[in-house]
Structure 1
């Protein structure tokens, strides 16, 4: 187990270093449908008839698929598979007499604890129950995660539940290395000793730790079963793809045999798995959008390179699959030029330089880019004659009438442009450019000779040019429209809660506020009871937060500020906690079911029904005024059980329970009248040789002792320095014992204990061995 924890720690450190470069990415960039992979290990144990013992462990793998996730959503949901192996141990500190129907202990196989040898003075057969359960599970789980908490803080909190196919097999350690029962060892344990001391002796001194026998109802092949489970996981998302988790999982076995012991009660067993884990998130690759990419077909010039003596260049093309002129770029010798684009028709005119001129036309959309290059050579030495005189007639006249000034300022994002154009036939002889880009999105009315267009304005300068051309010449007018953004102070209004003051009996409250005119450089501050808090989310002009409330009045303030001013809104929330209903404890002794009873049996079973008692420590169980601690109490059903030893005469049994709301008690009297029996003959023992506190020169000494009322060697417990010695001779007729005992250097403790059905006795001596000189 320790090695597994060290391995998990090293893996966590490696993962932190490996993924540290990804820490700057927000976890909210994850796309729905991601995959998770995890490894985990920890402690496994049972809640069952047999008390859990140390040493249990488990380890496993998980593989999950996200089914629901949206950035900012309160919850996300995953479907996850789990592969788990676990081992659990159990060991009881009290005698278990419910073995008559236990086929592993009643003689149906090889071990028979129903009757002890007569010399040990044991009436009813018993064992100290123990088990080792091996379990393998393949499970499917649904995982619900607090998504907003993870996105805001990095902390993980998940609840999950599912069902698994479980293989399990339980073995018990009820035979010594020779395959024999622990009769002598079990009978020598005083049941009134502290339970921790009993369990320590069982695990360290008596039991050999070899779980050699299949438990009641089991074979070597084990069993299969469907087992539902629930669990909780907490952790921290160190990077968008790596998290460290800790969790607890509870599995409902649906059987009372998981611990190999089914005859104490009819309650099904549970098993637990508390673990640390490493979890990786494998993002889903975004789907690439598909669609037609742009296509450019050059109409003029038809060839490249194209030679011409004319310094007036012309490029015409057909461009498909673009949305607007903004998707088109055209350069001549590396410099952008104006162009006209309408529908699919592209036209640009430009002046050529002597020699080589490179024209580059590029079109783009979300699905791709097309690019063509045309080389136009203005031949060197060509005589450039002045243009011929224009034909007789009047050229066009252009005048922009709205706006009427050459430089016009406005705070609006659009402007209706009007221009008067005389001397043209139709719209085809007009060019409108906005910030260097041609557009055909205008109307020309031949009747009024007026151009109209709605121009979208960008912040700052917007250069607008209107040019008209006819066979007799051309004319152009320009205007500059400056869009100035108005800066106004913000406005804040809290909309949730919608009443002030707001009263609630819930210890948390949702806050929502709308913030208008904040601007890109504005700031928002959030205060709860006078203290600034960053635990809020600002989405557009909406602020959302969830706060924890203290009893009484809670003051919430939302404040916004920009360069033009500030504003704030506030609300008072009064938290009035609901006082819990008083639930004083209750106790009723149900067995015996009468306040006074008489019995001839020295043992009595006590049962009681309890309500509103959650801890065993809140129960005061007393027999004849002496408090007992080794009773069994299960808060799940409020059932208390215990077997007691009665003294001759009247016995007072009382149970008192207490909780924060009060106390209750119940009591019964049991009169025990024993039947007359034979005269008791308790045994005696006396070590006659060597003498107490004697010294020895040899590494061994002869041990002699005399006993009374002892008839068999198995009634004698001989120990040297705490180690049990069985190599001795005993005469049952004379009651004399003799043995050769090996000594260690220094003090040696020699102890003999004798036991029969009427009692026990012991004697001891100390011998000092000086060792070789």
Structure 2
């Protein structure tokens, strides 16, 4: 298949090379050399740009000097690479035998956490039809074009899933609850960057048909040499470009790779265009000779109107406390600083606070918080000029914290970063307050103690569990316990009725103890 694509490209190139000798109305040949970077849009997220380079051979099918558009046919070779690195754990079926234990039982991530990654080397051969805005190029030297094409992509994919000793990585040490950047940094620290394992999928092709589309923008440097910035999108007809097939798809667009480049385009074969001989030469009309009448004028010198140009600063926004700046302006056609007025936020600045050494004006100012307006007025005997401009001093960065209020409640507030230490000392924390659980009061049946209940507070989310155990909403209703009097060891006691059997076993009797009256015998 690869040989067929290459043969097709060279057959077309040979046909076009013969065509240029049979017609002087056709175009000319151009050679392009480019270098740039590539990135991927695939099942595995893009990691960073890969370096690429390429060459193009273009034949101008249609390009007339006065036509709005031109059409070209271009062959391309591209050598590049892309890198991918996921920051979420992969939980699907691992399709590649290199890492699922099929090729080696010691390299098996089937039941282990894994973050997928890939490096894909690309060799692309394609043929493109180009639509150019010819009139812009002929009149202004601006090169703009769109193109559509197709060809073949030969790719080789590898992955970095083994350490320097050939062992699989222990991805369980990665804190998956951290942010994206933190997770990627942890993975980078764990991996050695070797991409040692070739990802060869069973029955998957490594040379596939690849449609392409793109655009370019550039300009003519000198006749015969152009420079162009170009972006190309390639659609290889495979879902194994990144080495892993996550979700089966019959879509035309599966894995995609992009190539952004900067290149030079050289004219290598010129033709004798007939259009060059069609240049319009206007008829020369004789101009009648008129003898001018001498005019006597008196020369007077008039000063030019003052001109004000702000030279520094080149940025207009600053962050507190770095809001002290030097303003430098170029003021022409004035004599001294007495001809200059300088205002800051509507207030006139005295001349001793700025300098003027023709044509340079300088002033050191401290910006106030917010937008600061400035105005420079320069005047001479002929006219005056006013220049208005602004600079902004932004307050220091604000951070969001969870603040402990005096009533024990918490609230989310924003504070200046310089105030953080004071809030931290009072127990405040950075970030938003954790969501407080809504509590409800229930009457809970104490496990293992029949008939015994107690009033407790629980999170609302746990209510259904308690309800299934017979608990009820609200506080427990306390029934006053019936009490009785008993006599034990000649002492009258008041106890709960439910405790009677316990005291009865100790010899107690119901009711109060009988009172014994002591009688004194009289003699």
Normalising TM by the smaller chain, what interval? Answer: 0.3 to 0.5
Query: Could you state the TM-score of these two structures normalised by the residue count of structure 2?
Result: 0.46
| Structure with more contact order per residue of length (Cα contacts < 8 Å, sep ≥ 6) | 2
- Give 1 or 2: higher helix fraction: 2
Structure with the higher fraction of residues in strand conformation: 1
